[in-house]
């Protein structure tokens, strides 16, 4: 099972994003996690296409773009053009989820589907075949620095069971409150990719923090 770390640039110093990108490039993290928020689906506004495009120029690593926006299907082509490799949309935000996931794949990206803490794993049962990654939100989305919701561990296990039952090779990603104290448990529950914001960019040595998460 892979152990991929995807540092969340929502927790980086926005005045020095280039420095943050160089730090992650020098680490064992394989992905950049970019949270796009619209102030409607979630109560926060983060950044959009220009930042994704700029970071695409700063790295050859995977750009893991998480859309926390309403009607994400409107921007599939735009995020492809900006350089996204994975594009994740929320079950709760996409009325025609099957069509949206297909359009992401048709655009040449990998399609992710995210579940808020209150949304059951069964919500992705009918789209498992179109999903390259399932994102389990282990906090309520919108802000960094929240505490990990402990019941998310069981949810990760249930997601893993569903994907195995559907014969899906989709990765499982966990986002929210991830740190060195719980990383081992999350991986053990079945996660493949951990998103870490404050645990990386709030650390004195982000490169060492990433190493610690991988080896948890």
Q: Active-site residue among 35, 64, 132, 192?
A: 35
pLDDT digits (tens, 9 = 90+) for 171-210: 999 999 999 999 999 999 999 999 999 999 999 999 999 9
- Nearest to residue 112, comparing CAs of 27, 95, 94? 94
> Cα-flanking dihedrals φ and ψ of residue 79, to 5°?
-75, -30
Q: Are 149 and 163 in contact (CB under 8 A)?
A: no
Annotated catalytic residue 35: yes
Parallel, antiparallel, or unpaired for β 86-90 and 31-37?
A: unpaired
First to last CA, the chain: 14
Give the count of domains, the chain.
1
Annotated catalytic residue 132: no
Give pLDDT, residue 146: 79
Known binding residues are 8, 33, 35, 66, 142-145, 175-177
More confident residue, 140 or 172: 172
CATH number at residue 202: 3.20.20.70
Give pLDDT, residue 45: 95
Known binding residues for substrate are 8, 66, 142-145, 175-177
Per-residue pLDDT for 144 more than 80? no
pLDDT digits (tens, 9 = 90+) for 112-137: 999 999 999 999 999 999 999 999 99
Distance CA 110, CA 123 (A): 19
pTM of the model: 0.96
Q: How far is CA 79 from CA 7, 50, 73, 210, in A?
A: 19, 10, 10, 27
Distance CA 107, CA 153 (A): 32
As beta bridge partners, residue 111 has 87
pLDDT digits (tens, 9 = 90+) for 159-171: 999 999 999 999 9
Known binding residues for a divalent metal cation are 33, 35, 66, 175
Residue span of the structural domain in which 56 resides: 4-214
Give pLDDT, residue 141: 84
Q: Active-site residue among 13, 64, 85, 175?
A: 175
């Amino acid at each position: 099972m892979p152990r991929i770390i995807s540092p969340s640039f929502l927790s980086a110093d926005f005045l020095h994003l280039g420095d943050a990108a160089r730090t992650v490039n020098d680490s064992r993290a394989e992905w950049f996690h970019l949270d796009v928020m619209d102030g409607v689906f979630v109560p926060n506004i983060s950044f959009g296409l220009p930042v994704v495009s700029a970071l695409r120029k700063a790295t050859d690593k995977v750009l893991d773009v998480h859309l926390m926006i309403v009607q994400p299907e409107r921007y599939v082509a735009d995020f492809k053009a900006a350089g996204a490799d994975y594009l994740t949309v929320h079950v709760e935000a996409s009325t025609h989820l099957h069509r949206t996931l297909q359009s992401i794949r048709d655009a040449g990206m990998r399609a992710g589907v995210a579940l808020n803490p209150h949304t059951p794993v069964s919500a992705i049962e009918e789209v498992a075949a179109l999903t390259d990654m399932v994102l389990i939100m282990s906090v309520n989305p919108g802000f960094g620095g929240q505490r990990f919701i402990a019941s998310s561990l069981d949810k990760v296990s249930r997601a893993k069971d569903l994907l195995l039952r559907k014969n899906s090779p989709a990765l499982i990603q966990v986002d929210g409150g991830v740190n060195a104290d719980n990383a081992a448990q999350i991986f053990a529950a079945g996660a493949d990719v951990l998103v870490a914001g404050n645990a990386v960019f709030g650390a004195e040595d982000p490169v060492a923090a990433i190493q610690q998460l991988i080896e948890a």
